[in-house]
Amino acid sequence: MAEETKKMTFEELLATLPCKNKEVPAKFNDLVKSVMSEGETIYFYVISDVVLGSRYGESFVAVTSEQLVSYDEIREEKLLTFKISDIEKAEVKRMYGNALFRIKTGGKIIELNKCSYSVTENFDNIAQYINDLNEGKDRQDLIEAVREAYEKRQLYCPKCGARLPYKNAPCIKCADKKKILGRILGYVKPHILLLIVALIMAVITTITNLVPPLLTARLVDGTLVNVADLVEGTPEMESRVNELFSIVLFLFIINTFQNIVGAFRGYILRTASERITNSLKTELYTKAQYLPIKYYDKTSTGSVISRINGDTANLNGFIMRISQEVLTQAIQLVGIVVVMVSMNPVLSLLSLLPIPIVVVSAKIFSKFIHPYYYRIWKRGAKINSILADTLPGIKVVKAFTSEEKSINNFTETNKDLISENLKTAKISSIYNSATGLVMMMGSIVIWGLGGYMVLTKASFLGSEALTAGGLVAFINYMWMFYNPVQFFVSLNETFISAFTSAERVFEVLDAEPEEDFGRGNIPEGGIQGKIEFKNVSFSYEKGKRILSNVNFVIEPGEIVGIVGTTGSGKSTVVNLLMRYYDNYEGDIFIDGDNIKNIDLQYYRSSIGYVLQEPLLFKDTVYRNIAHSDPTMPVEDVIYAAQVANAHTFITKLPDSYDTMLGERGVGLSGGERQRISIARAVLKDPSILILDEATSAVDSETESIIQEAIERIINGRTTIMIAHRLSTLKKADKIIVVDEGKIAEMGSHNELMEKRGKYYKLVKIQSLASELGDNGVFEG
């Protein structure tokens, strides 16, 4: 349970005011103060971004303890003031891309300020405050509510004042990079030993990498020099041959050693990498399971999937780069520089000449090429979406003979993709050749000057005279030198990309989960099934009330039908009962306990929920039925299937209960899928059963099979049946008619028919439909 916070006194609350959506320019503050009387306090500011002429400009509204002050720079009378008690109504008219804040006073509507959507909700708060205050509600409560709403919608970083990209977004400027990095590297900790071993191996191979060029130098300068003067069989010849074989053997040993160590290192790294990705993905997926439905209302499931797949892979790549390559590349860089300088400082300095060009051009190129890669990605995604739309929807494509249109669409997008690919390939080729040329020019200069130094035995700045072998080795080192340079040039981009992914991943990990999953009370003696809705009101979005003051009681074991037109609020009643949303007004009780106090996991496990569109998982029929507990005895699963009238058709499937269902239950008819989902609910043996339009998507014959199964399972359980077809409510003890979010009527079928209200009308409409040939009409 949340810890109760001590309520502020009114004076303490006043000290936190005024609330503002962004910094208030001193000019605005002065304007408001100029119309205030003594003892008056400013409560709220809304700084708007649009003026009345629908242009961007300066305007604001301030609410004080006494009045409403409105300023608009293009209005004839720029500053307007109204006594709050004189305002009959304040409201925000939402338009397209903008909104209008207006008030009604003295029977007249006055349009005060305009704003873009970025500020609309602040105006909503002000309007609500004025209306509620004039209705006599408690001023302190109202101010606190507005203050809280403002804080939740913090558009500006409270620390540095920088603009935030969306409500409550973490401030990019203030984000502690070290903290983020620390958090990313936190995933390394459990695998640190593996990574240290891999790192040691990398350091060893990096150092051994520096040896072969020295050996080749020895080969050229010693072993293979002046071979024309050598005579076969002489000790000199023998010594040269021995040396040759020693060097070759040494080269062989080094290469073999490097490859063996490389293979081990590769395996160790892969192990660590897989484990890190796995722990990241599992943590993210686990969190995604416990996020409330309202999170998914605002964040697309696709976006969460891309975080679980793409962003975790990106983070893993970053971890590997940071934990391994930074050190090895640094060692390589320093090692090569030391060896090169010790061989010839002058040539070393000269070989650095192309570096600034390579570094700068790599920076420019990466910025330049990035948009092209994005364009390729976007076109690739478009092709994927065409495929995802048209291939699974091939029946529709054929039915509307739109094959040609689909082909043209695909061909055009593909052409576009090819064109972008070619453009990118052209730019990349030019860049690669150009940098290659610059580096080659560097080596040509070294060949020229180095060759001259070899020939003339000249030395500069006290360096030793260069030998032919030394020159070859030097040029080898020079080429090796460019790799770590390029690595460090691109390191910053790696950081940025990883931090972006980290932010997206941590946003999910840090999101508020469902509050009391596995932490609430478990009622003694289990759930009996008495349901009570007491003054329940709810809106998914502010301003659009879906349920208004809903009250009803369902006794244990009662069968209750909920009817109403589309959008009347029937399913919302179930959404609240399932605790998919907790932010409603009023209370819902089960057996007298507030459902918010019951352990969520236990509570949901006591409810069987059969949806209109049954969701089957890509798994066997058996595991689909035993979804809540795959270790259930086979007898129970088969019994559940029998109760649901599913057993007979399952046994006719090629692999019976082992039949693998495709995505969303492909391969079964709608009725068969529904019967499996009913069997799933039966197996749970729930105290409360909810059937949400369970038979609306099937034909009459299948409906009667399902109906028969339903009648069998509802016995002795509190059952809520949401239905369009009133014929499915034959067995209902009570029918609740919901209309525009309110309970319009409640009673038995006969009572409601006698009343001749909404229910009567619905029955009559369906009877008429029946006469015209439709099926499934209530006969009562």
Partner 1 sequence: MENSVRFFSGKNIKIESGSMGVLLKITLPDGTVYEDVEPRRYFPISDISRNISIVRLEEDDRGRDKLHEYFIIKDTANLDEDSRKALLTSLDRYYMIPKILDIYDQKNVYGILQWKVLTDRGVFAFDIRDIYSSIKQLNSGKILVIDAYDNRYEIDDVSKLSKRGQKLLLGYL
Binding of partner 1 at residue 318 (CB under 8 A)? Answer: no
Our CB check for partner 1 shows the closer of 252 and 368 to be 368
- The correct pick among 7, 137, 270, 378 for binding partner 1 (CB under 8 A) is 378
The dihedral over CA atoms of 485, 488, 490, 491, expressed in degrees to the nearest 10, equals 170
In DSSP terms, which residues pair with 67 in a beta bridge?
83
Q: Looking at this protein, which amino acid is placed at residue 243?
A: E
Identify which of residues 117 and 460 has a Cβ nearer to partner 1 in the complex.
117
CA dist., res. 670 & res. 676, Å (int): 10
| Position 375 contacts partner 1 (CB under 8 A) | yes
| Residue 382 to residue 686: CA distance in whole angstroms | 45
We find the least distance from the C-beta atom of residue 728 to partner 1, in angstroms, to be 26
- What is the 8-class DSSP label of residue 187? T
Asked whether the beta carbons of 480 and 443 are under 8 A apart, the reply is no
- Which residues between 48 and 87 bind partner 1 (CB under 8 A)? 49-50, 54-57
Q: Which of 10, 117, 452, 617 binds partner 1 (CB under 8 A)?
A: 117
* H or E, element range at 547: strand 544-554
Query: How far is 441 from 234, CA to CA, in rounded Å?
Result: 44
Member of 116, 279, 486, 659 binding partner 1 (CB under 8 A): 116
Alpha carbon distance 443, 451 (integer Å): 11
Residue 117 beta carbon to partner 1: minimum distance, rounded to whole angstroms: 5
Write the Ramachandran bin of 39: left for phi over 0, alpha for psi from -120 to 50, otherwise beta: left
Which range binds partner 1 by CB under 8 A, 113-121, 259-267, 437-445, 653-661? 113-121
Beta bridge partners, 541, equal 544
Does residue number 515 form part of the binding site for partner 1 (CB under 8 A)?
A: no
Give CA–CA dist 520/772, Å, rounded: 53
Counting contacts by CB under 8 A, is residue 317 touching partner 1? Answer: no
Contact with partner 1 (CB under 8 A) among 109, 248, 407, 615: 109
User: What are the CA-CA distances from residue 548 to residues 293, 544, 568 (Å)?
Assistant: 21, 11, 11
By beta-carbon proximity to partner 1, the closer residue of 169 and 210 is 169
Q: Which of 545, 623, 712, 730 binds partner 1 (CB under 8 A)?
A: 545
Return the range that interacts with partner 1 (CB under 8 A); candidates 112-120, 223-231, 390-398, 601-609.
Answer: 112-120
> Is there binding between residue 172 and partner 1 (CB under 8 A)?
yes
Using the minimum distance from each CB to partner 1, give the nearer residue, 164 or 254. Answer: 164
Should residue 152 be labelled a site residue for partner 1 when binding is judged by CB under 8 A?
no
Rg (CA), the chain: 37
Least Å distance, CB 535 to partner 1, is 16
Which of 98, 486 has the CB closer to partner 1? 98
DSSP state of 774: -
CB 693 within 8 A of CB 722: yes
Contact map string, positions 290 to 309, toward partner 1, x by CB under 8 A: -------------x------
The stretch near partner 1 (CB under 8 A) out of 196-204, 346-354, 368-376, 467-475 is: 368-376
What token pair was written down for 96?
A: 């397209």
- Residue number with CB closer to partner 1 (592 or 773): 773
Q: How far is the CB of 98 from partner 1 (least distance, A)?
A: 4
Of 245, 252, 374, 460, the one binding partner 1 (CB under 8 A) is 374
Q: Which is nearer to partner 1, 496 or 522 (CB)?
A: 496
| Beta bridge partner(s), residue 559 | 719
- Interaction of residue 166 with partner 1, rule CB under 8 A: yes
**C-alpha torsion 618→622→625→630, nearest 10:** -90
Neighbours of 752 (CB within 10 A): 23
| Residue 506: exposure state from Cβ atoms within 10 A (0-12, 13-18, ≥19) | middle
- Please report how close the Cβ of residue 402 comes to partner 1 at its closest, in angstroms: 16
Q: Would you tell me how many other CB atoms lie within 10 Å of the CB of residue 601?
A: 15
Near partner 1 by CB under 8 A, which window of 108-116, 233-241, 686-694, 749-757? 108-116
For residue 307, give the DSSP letter: I
Whether the bond between 614 and the residue before it is cis, its omega within 30 degrees of 0, is no
**Site for partner 1, residues 379 to 438, rule: CB under 8 A:** 381
Q: Is 182 in the site for partner 1 (CB under 8 A)?
A: no
Q: Which of 97, 107, 356, 525 binds partner 1 (CB under 8 A)?
A: 97
Q: Considering the complex, state which of residue 42 and residue 284 has its C-beta at the smaller distance from partner 1.
A: 284
- C-alpha distances in angstroms, 235 versus 240, 242, 243, 245, 548? 8, 10, 12, 15, 107
- Residues 718-757 binding partner 1 (CB under 8 A) are 740
Among 499, 609, 622, 778, binds partner 1 (CB under 8 A): 499
Nearest distance in Å: CB 405, partner 1: 13
Separation between Cα atoms, residue 355 and residue 498, nearest integer Å: 26
Min dist CB 725 to partner 1, Å, is 21
Q: Is 642 in the site for partner 1 (CB under 8 A)?
A: no
Between 127 and 288, whose beta carbon lies closer to partner 1?
127
- Which of 372, 447, 517, 639 forms a contact with partner 1 (CB under 8 A)? 372
| SS3 labels along 631-675 | CCCHHHHHHHHHHCCCHHHHHHCCCHHHCECCHHHCCCCHHHHHH
- Of 105, 216, 406, 548, which lies in the binding site for partner 1, with binding defined by CB under 8 A? 548
| Stretch binding partner 1 (CB under 8 A), from 93-101, 357-365, 479-487, 637-645 | 93-101
- Tracing tokens 């979406």 back to the chain, one arrives at 385
Alpha-carbon distance of 729 to 559, in angstroms, equals: 9
Residue 370 makes contact with partner 1 by CB under 8 A: yes
Task: Write the burial class of residue 387 (CB in 10 Å: 0-12 exposed, 13-18 middle, 19+ buried).
Answer: exposed
Strands 585-590, 593-594: pairing is: antiparallel
The only residue of 425, 496, 522, 765 in contact with partner 1, by rule CB under 8 A: 496
Write down the least CB distance from residue 96 to partner 1, Å: 4
Closer to partner 1 by Cβ: residue 398 or 405? 405
CB nearer to partner 1: pick between 56 and 400? 56
Q: How many residues bind partner 1 (CB under 8 A)?
A: 37
CA dist 404 and 311 (Å) reads 37
| Residue 56 C-beta: closest distance to partner 1, Å | 4
Query: Binding residues for partner 1, per CB under 8 A?
Result: 49-50, 54-57, 95-98, 109, 111, 116-118, 163, 165-166, 169, 172, 303, 370-372, 374-375, 378, 381, 496, 499-500, 503-504, 544-545, 548, 740
